[in-house]
């Protein structure tokens, strides 16, 4: 349909105004700094420390959610137990709950005198206002991704394969590693990558639960915010560009993972 | 089939890796699951227990905490927090921004969904990926982009100053930031429905002489209404709850540019935890409504398919 219709024009106009122009503004502003200057700002001490906190913590929580997400998806798909439907529906809560509310309640529950934090405080473990708190917030917001990407794949998996493996004498471990896990791998990795991507960009819940101290629990998005508050637009832009490029990279990886996953569909 | 994406709300219609046209006997989410015999009851109990314990630590206890904290000084204290002027102003501003953003993004979402689902063109997959970008960009970076466009030293800065229009540190900037982060929701929900419905009915209406607008309102709309409604609800939920992007452009001026999420953070920072939780309950209820509605839509679409 080569005719240029109204919806077609609205789509491109809106995308240009709302999406392409803002991205162009960021990239052109970043391009206006010299490469040496860009590199200096992007790799200065404080920035490097925020990458460490942001990406390493996000990766650890994503993997953590990978393991537990697989377990939760398995339990929800394969087992029948009272309250299963409610638990299933509640998995989406981190998608629907505003991040400010999540940060507020996590900071309270995991503070030294909170419901859960007080259990750890006697052992000298502080959770809120430390990097552990950042990890908890990231775990909360990225929890649903692995569960939701795995569920449909698990549902379509044929149990006969497992039964065949058992009847041929495979042990439970062998069945899990050789029969169950391989077809789940693309979906599992996609879920982990989605969760990682979400955790890397998260701002609201982390700024509340963390102490936001450089070199300890300051994440990259909060550093961007702080630089903007000091009207350091160049500093903010450089960091923002680094984050944008990394999220584009993750997006590419996710698309490749999904293409890999579709091979199993056939 | 559209590739599933960073959509934080995978809808019933575009769950990843799900074939659009399922055979009825292939979709039994609800049939009782029979554990294979060789799996012992003990293992099953342990797995369920670990899963629930993990969810309790990360999800259930924090969610319960919102309501307990809000009401632990009684209903009276709760309601007196809800009539404070700073709070009511934040609610008002949140509602205004949402009322502007939701219709705009609904119109765009419908146009984009139609353009993508009803046309096959070069770069279609790329366009779908582009549409998802707001989901993968950090909200703070999104806010930064708006500042770089409309701020004092931004592209349109001189122009706006000459016309005496303020966008950053004012509500128009907050509308732009909110519209940016909620841009994909409606299109994301409507595209799979449009693809599934196909073009037969629309073509039939056309040969019978219906005009484009008639076809849209009387043929297409009834088919996509549940997907559209769910997309609107997600847009609404995110618009009311958006924090990072709005925080960057707002300047967080009390009784001027403070939305509900910003109000929550500010109250918490001022050690008024009680006030913060009273406001948080409202947003938490919104989240619960969204989830309940999701369940309803999921069941509707399931009934239709079988």
Which CATH number belongs to the domain containing residue A174 in this structure?
1.10.3720.10
Among A242, A215, A48, which Cα is nearest to A131's?
A: A215
Question: Binning pLDDT at 50, 70 and 90, where does residue B4 land?
Answer: very low
Q: What is the spatial distance between Cα A28 and Cα B113, in angstroms, rounded to a whole number? A: 30
Consecutive H or E run containing B74: helix B74-82
* Count of beta carbons in the 10 Å neighbourhood of residue B31: 9
Query: Comparing C-alpha atoms, which of A156, A153, A143, A159 is closest to residue A185?
Result: A153
Residue A96 sits in which domain range? Answer: 52-219
Q: Which of A26-30, A96-100, A227-231 is the least confident region?
A: A227-231
- Which residues touch B206 (CB under 8 Å, ≥6 apart)? B215
| Host H or E run for residue A211 | none
Angle between helices B221-241 and B185-197 (to 10 degrees): 160
Does any CB of chain A come closer than 8 Å to the CB of residue B247?
A: yes
Q: How far apart are CA A18 and CA B191, in angstroms?
A: 20
Any CB–CB contact under 8 A between B141 and chain A? yes
Please tell me the distance from the alpha carbon of residue A113 to that of residue A188, in angstroms, as a whole number: 36
Instruction: Pick the more confident residue, A265 or A116.
Output: A116
What per-residue confidence (pLDDT) applies to B21?
A: 43
Instruction: Look at residue A73 and tell me if it is in a domain.
Output: yes
- Using an 8 Å Cβ cutoff, are A202 and A95 in contact? no
Q: What is the pLDDT of residue A162?
A: 85
Indicate yes or no: CB of A72 within 8 angstroms of CB of B51: yes
CA distance A138 to A56: 11
Output the CA–CA distances (angstroms, integers) from residue A109 to A53, A133, B51, in the order listed: 22, 11, 20
Size of interface A-B (CB pairs under 8 A): 293
User: Which one has a higher pLDDT value, B20 or A123?
Assistant: A123
Using DSSP's 3-state secondary structure scheme, residue B7 falls into: coil
A97 within a domain of the structure (yes/no):
yes
Q: Which helix (H) or strand (E) holds A72?
A: helix A57-78
- Computed from CA positions of residues B188, B193, B198, B201, in that sequence, does the dihedral angle turn out positive or negative? negative
Q: What is the DSSP annotation of A151-178?
A: HHHHHHS-HHHHHHHHHTT--HHHIIII
> 3-state DSSP: chain A helix, strand, coil percent, rounded to 5?
80, 0, 20
Would you say domain B80-305 falls under CATH 3.30.360.10?
no
Give chain B positions within 8 Å (CB) of A75.
47-48, 51
- B82 contact A CB<8A: no
Supply the mean pLDDT for chain A.
92
Contact flag A26-B26 (C-beta cutoff 8 Å): no
Question: Across the interface, do B115 and A8 touch by the CB < 8 Å criterion?
Answer: yes
Residue A194 pLDDT > 90? yes
The answer to whether B246 touches B178, Cβ cutoff 8 Å, is yes
Is residue B167 within 8 Å of B176, Cβ to Cβ?
yes
B184 interfaces chain A, CB cutoff of 8 Å: no
Report how far residue B267's alpha carbon sits from residue A92's, in angstroms, rounded to the nearest whole number.
27
Q: Do B261 and A25 touch (CB under 8 A)?
A: no
For residue A23, which residues of chain B lie inside 8 Å, CB to CB?
Answer: 133, 145
Residue A205: pLDDT over 90: yes
Residue A159, C-beta contacts closer than 8 angstroms, at least 6 positions apart:
B36
The answer to whether position A6 is within a domain reads: no
Look at residues B62, A125, A243 and name the one whose alpha carbon lies nearest to residue A117: A125
Among candidates A8, A81, A247 on the partner chain, residue whose Cβ is nearest the Cβ of B137: A247
pLDDT tens digits, residue range B14-69? Answer: 444 444 444 444 444 444 444 444 457 888 999 999 999 999 999 999 999 999 99
Nearest CA in chain A to B275: A104
CB-closest option in A15, A143, A221 to B59: A143
How many helices (H) and strands (E) in chain A? 16, 0
Question: Under a CB-based contact definition with an 8 Å cutoff, are residues B284 and B67 in contact?
Answer: yes
3-state secondary structure of B110: helix
- What six digits make up the tokens of A29? 């502003």
Q: What is the pLDDT of residue B146?
A: 95
Name the residue among B6, B115, B273 with its Cβ closest to that of A11.
B115
Using CB atoms within 10 Å of the CB of residue A216, give its burial: 0 to 12 exposed, 13 to 18 middle, 19+ buried: middle
Name residues 186-215 of chain B within 8 A of A (Cβ).
Answer: none
Q: Does residue A170 lie within any of the structural domains? A: yes
Closest-CA residue of chain A to B239:
A98
Give the whole-angstrom CA distance, residue B300 versus residue B230: 12
Over range B69-97, report the average pLDDT.
91
pLDDT tens for B172-231 read 999 999 999 999 999 999 999 998 888 888 889 989 988 888 888 999 999 899 999 999
Chain A residue whose CA is closest to B260: A100
List the single best residue of B2, B138, B263 to mutate versus A (max A Cβ within 10 A).
B138
> Which stretch of A150-154, B116-120, B302-306 has the lowest confidence by average pLDDT?
B302-306
Q: What is the sign of the dihedral through the CA atoms of B122, B124, B125 and B130?
A: positive
Mutate to test the interface with A, among B107, B144, B220 (most CBs of A within 10 A): B144
> Residues A257, A193: contact at Cβ < 8 Å?
yes
B21 vs A: CB within 8 A: no
Question: CA-to-CA distance for B190 and B230, rounded, in angstroms?
Answer: 9
- Average pLDDT (A85-98) is 93
pLDDT digits (tens, 9 = 90+) for A235-255: 999 999 999 999 999 988 998
**Whether residue B284 has pLDDT greater than 80:** yes
In contact, A7 and B113? CB cutoff 8 Å:
no
A172 interaction partners in chain B (CB closer than 8 Å): 38-39
State how many domains chain A has. 1
Q: Is residue A45 part of a domain?
A: no
Neighbouring C-alpha atoms within 13 Å toward the C-beta of B281: 19
In angstroms, what separates the C-alpha of B260 from chain A's closest C-alpha? 9
Question: Tens digit of pLDDT for each residue in B113-148?
Answer: 999 998 888 888 888 888 989 999 999 999 999 999
**For residue B11, pLDDT beyond 70:** no
Say which range, A8-17, A173-182, B50-59, has the weakest mean pLDDT: A173-182
Q: What is the pLDDT of residue B305?
A: 60
Structure tokens of A111?
């503070």
Asked if the C-beta of B285 comes within 8 angstroms of chain A's C-beta atoms, the answer is no
Nearest-Cα residue of chain B relative to residue A265: B17
Share of chain A above pLDDT 70, in %: 97
Q: Tokens at residue B35, please?
A: 């554990």
Measured CA to CA in angstroms, residue B285 lies from A99, A255, B74 at distances of 14, 34, 18
Find tokens 């200057």 and name the residue: A37
Residue B12 pLDDT exceeds 60: no
Q: Where are the domains of chain B?
A: 37-72, 80-305
Residues for chain A: how many in total? 266
Chain B residue with the nearest C-alpha to that of A64:
B54
- The answer to whether the CB atoms of A221 and B244 lie below 8 A apart is yes
B262, A100: Cβ pair inside 8 Å? yes
Residue A26 lies in a domain: no
Which of B:35-64 have CB within 8 Å of A? 35-36, 38-39, 44, 47-48, 50-52, 54-55, 57-63
B306–chain A nearest CA distance, Å? 17
Contact residues, chain A, for B18 at CB < 8 Å: 152
Q: What is the pLDDT of residues B267-277, one digit of tens each?
A: 999 999 999 99
Q: Is residue A138 part of a domain?
A: yes
Using pLDDT thresholds of 50, 70 and 90, give the confidence band for residue B278: very high
For the CA atoms of A144, A148, A149, A154, the dihedral, rounded to the nearest 10 degrees, stands at 130
Question: Residue A219: which pLDDT band, with cuts at 50, 70 and 90?
Answer: very high
**CA distances in angstroms from A36 to A43, A240, B146, B265, listed in the order given:** 11, 17, 26, 38
Taking the Cβ of residue B138 and every Cβ of chain A, the question of whether any pair is shorter than 8 Å is answered with yes
- Give the best residue of A19, A71, A104 to mutate against chain B (max B CB count within 10 A): A104
| A100 or A265, greater pLDDT | A100
Please report the pLDDT score of residue B177 as a whole number: 97
Residues in chain B: 306
Encode burial over A40-64: b for 16+ CB neighbours within 10 A, e otherwise: ebbeeeebebbbebbbebbbebbeb
CA distance B105 to A93: 23
Distance, CA of B249 to CA of B271 (rounded, Å): 24
Across the interface, of A77, A87, A96, the residue whose CB is closest to B287 is A96
């Amino acid at each position: 349909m080569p005719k240029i219709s109204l919806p077609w024009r609205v789509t491109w106009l809106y995308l240009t105004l709302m999406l392409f122009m803002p991205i162009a503004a960021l990239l052109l502003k970043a391009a206006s700094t010299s490469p040496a200057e860009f590199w200096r700002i992007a790799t200065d001490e404080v920035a490097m420390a925020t990458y460490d906190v942001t990406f390493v913590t996000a990766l650890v929580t994503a993997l953590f959610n990978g393991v537990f997400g697989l377990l939760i998806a398995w339990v929800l798909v394969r087992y029948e137990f009272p309250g299963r439907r409610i638990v299933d529906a509640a998995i989406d809560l981190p998608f629907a709950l505003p991040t400010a509310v999540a940060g507020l309640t996590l900071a309270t529950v995991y503070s030294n005198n909170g419901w859960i934090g007080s259990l750890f405080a006697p052992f000298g473990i502080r959770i809120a206002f430390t990097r552990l708190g950042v990890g908890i917030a990231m775990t909360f917001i990225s929890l649903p991704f692995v569960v939701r990407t795995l569920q449909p794949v698990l549902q379509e998996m044929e149990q006969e394969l497992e039964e065949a493996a058992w009847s041929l004498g495979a042990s439970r471990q062998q069945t899990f590693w050789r029969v169950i896990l391989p077809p789940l791998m693309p979906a599992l990795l996609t879920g982990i990558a989605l969760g990682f991507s979400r955790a890397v960009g998260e701002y609201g819940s982390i700024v509340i639960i963390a102490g936001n101290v450089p070199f300890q629990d300051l994440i990259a998005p909060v550093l961007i915010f702080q630089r903007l508050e000091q009207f350091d637009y160049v500093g903010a832009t450089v960091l923002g560009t680094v984050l944008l490029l990394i999220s584009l990279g993750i997006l590419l990886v996710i698309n490749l993972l999904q293409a890999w996953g579709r091979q199993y569909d056939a | 089939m559209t590739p599933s994406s960073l959509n934080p709300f995978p809808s019933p219609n575009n769950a990843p890796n799900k074939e659009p046209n399922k055979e009825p006997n292939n979709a039994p989410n609800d049939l009782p699951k029979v554990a294979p015999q060789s799996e012992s009851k003990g293992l099953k109990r342990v797995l369920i227990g670990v899963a629930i314990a993990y969810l309790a630590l990360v999800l259930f206890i924090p969610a319960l905490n919102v309501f307990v904290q809000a009401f632990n000084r009684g209903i009276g204290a709760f309601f007196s927090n809800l009539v404070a002027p700073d709070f009511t102003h934040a609610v008002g501003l949140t509602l205004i921004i949402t009322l502007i953003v939701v219709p705009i993004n609904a119109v765009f979402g419908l146009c984009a969904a139609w353009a993508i689902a009803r046309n096959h063109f070069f770069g279609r997959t790329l366009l779908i990926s582009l549409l998802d970008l707001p989901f993968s960009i950090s909200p703070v970076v999104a806010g930064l982009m708006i500042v770089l466009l409309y701020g004092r030293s931004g592209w349109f800065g001189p122009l706006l100053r000459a016309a005496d229009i303020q966008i950053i540190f004012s509500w128009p900037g907050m509308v732009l930031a909110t519209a940016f982060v909620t841009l994909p929701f409606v299109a994301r929900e409507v595209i799979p429905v449009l693809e599934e419905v196909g073009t037969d009915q629309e073509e039939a209406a056309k040969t019978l002489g219906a005009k484009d607008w008639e076809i849209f309102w009387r043929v297409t709309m009834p088919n996509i209404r549940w997907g559209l409604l769910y997309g609107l609800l997600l847009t609404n939920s995110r618009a009311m709850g958006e924090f990072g992007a709005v925080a960057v452009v707002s300047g967080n001026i009390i009784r001027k540019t403070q939305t509900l999420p910003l109000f929550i953070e500010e109250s918490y920072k001022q050690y008024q935890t009680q006030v913060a939780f009273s406001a948080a309950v409202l947003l938490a209820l919104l989240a619960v409504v969204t989830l309940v509605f999701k369940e309803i839509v999921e069941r509707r679409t399931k009934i239709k398919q079988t």
